[in-house]
Structure 1
């Protein structure tokens, strides 16, 4: 089973997502965060499932529309480890940790 490591910036990403949900008075915040974490857990069994980007980066698409998010990650096969670099809403223009 592949090990998953969240970057320190991921905590900031989750805080930003929660703040956004609070500002827009979105109900059921916790299930949204749980959904993101559950999707990331899928990488433990399928680390290459995300779409390929440049420089050995991949994106995992999570959900869709207003409830859609994207996790930027790198898989290092020699260590069988996924590093989650950043998480953003699908409607955001880019990652905050580019």
Structure 2
């Protein structure tokens, strides 16, 4: 985990006592594009607003960036969550997304 955090543009953690319970991690150029690479919340703490607050702070931190991109699983609950924090499916903004995985997932 240390390697990916060191190579990130920015990240924010949430801890209870010293236990890590939430993390948002951003990669990108901090000018024209960033990728919200990870949003992780311990299942015991989900549905308490932690993920939404991590996204809110990320959007605030990078409000100067033209494109904020996030790729996630296409599950109804996940899609609903990201819509609730102001993200839109790329089709709604006239875009298309392409992906190439180095190995089969």
Same fold (TM > 0.5): no
Larger Rg: 2
In terms of fraction of residues, the more helix-rich structure is 1
> TM-score, length-normalised on structure 1?
0.26
